[in-house]
Amino acid sequence: MTRTLASAPPAAAPRGRVIAIASGKGGVGKTWFSITLAHALARAGQRTLLVDGDLGLANVDVQLGLNPLHDLSGVLTGKLPLEKAILPQPGGFGILPGRSGSGALASLDGHALDHVAALMPRAAQGRDAVVLDLGAGLDAAVRRLAASADTLLIVATEEPTSLTDAYAALKLHDRDRPGGDARIVVNQAQDINSGRRTYEALARAASVFLKRDVPLAGIIRRDPKVRDAIRHQTPLLTRHPHCQAAADVELIANGL
């Protein structure tokens, strides 16, 4: 049976991994992938929390048709214990929403960002994984949260602008966390071979200019079922559990 996250973890429980999802370029599929990855990890029996870390334009709630009463800001101000702000999902994972209409997260200063970053390992206590969906761009908030993660998954598509932004994300992460665990996810790939070519172009640039290896976390094919699931505000693994993109994300979850 899948374990759920609704209940508070035991004190001093071992800490799971914080996995942040970034891309640089907007609209490549970070939020959809974060939701689907959290769902896949939960299905594999991992106690998983999905945190909406897109502080300016949180939209995990929109993709899933949720109307959260509480969000991250309540936890940051100390008004709400973390566990009280978590929305348990039918898929077996929990969600810490990024907004409830308060808009209080859009302009956090450095101190508040440190607070958010410090919250992540705390949220991973007693869980196996925290998946942290980040905003587009590479501003201070994205960099600070990416650097706080144990593993950074950089999502790129086959578009040249996405590739250059993914490279920039990797370069900055390498500066913020030298030698940190960063991996590439190619999303919306035409097919597995063309996704692999996209990854290889990125890996080559990382090797030549950054003198580092960047492993491939996986390739997700472009799949019309993704749009359909988002349009129906339903997780892909619930609506189309056997489609190509679902299989591709499950493979990534298993390889993490």
Ligand X SMILES: Nc1ncnc2c1ncn2[C@@H]1O[C@H](COP(=O)(O)OP(=O)(O)OP(=O)(O)O)[C@@H](O)[C@H]1O
Query: Which stretches of the chain bind ligand X, using CB under 6 A?
Result: 23, 26-32, 54, 135-136, 187-188, 220, 222-223, 226-227, 230, 245
The first and second tokens of residue 104, run together, are 């209080």
Q: Where do we find the tokens 């390498």?
A: 174
Residue 41 interacts with which of Mg ion, ligand X, none, CB < 5 to 8 Å by class? none
Report the nearest approach of Mg ion to the CB of residue 31 (Å): 3
Q: Of the two residues 81 and 255, which places its CB atom closer to ligand X in the complex? A: 255
Q: Of the two residues 46 and 188, which places its CB atom closer to ligand X in the complex? A: 188
The DSSP secondary-structure symbol of 21 reads: E
Q: Which residues pair with 184 in a beta bridge?
A: 154, 216
Integer Cα distance of 90 and 189 in angstroms: 29
Report the nearest approach of ligand X to the CB of residue 10 (Å): 33
φ and ψ at residue 181, rounded to 5 degrees = -80, 100
Task: For 125-145, give one letter per residue: b (16+ CB within 10 A) or e.
Answer: bbbbbbbbbbbbbbeebbbbb
Report the nearest approach of Mg ion to the CB of residue 58 (Å): 8
Residue from the set 31, 36, 63, 100 that interacts with Mg ion by CB under 5 A = 31
Q: Of the two residues 31 and 73, which places its CB atom closer to ligand X in the complex? A: 31
Report the nearest approach of ligand X to the CB of residue 33 (Å): 6
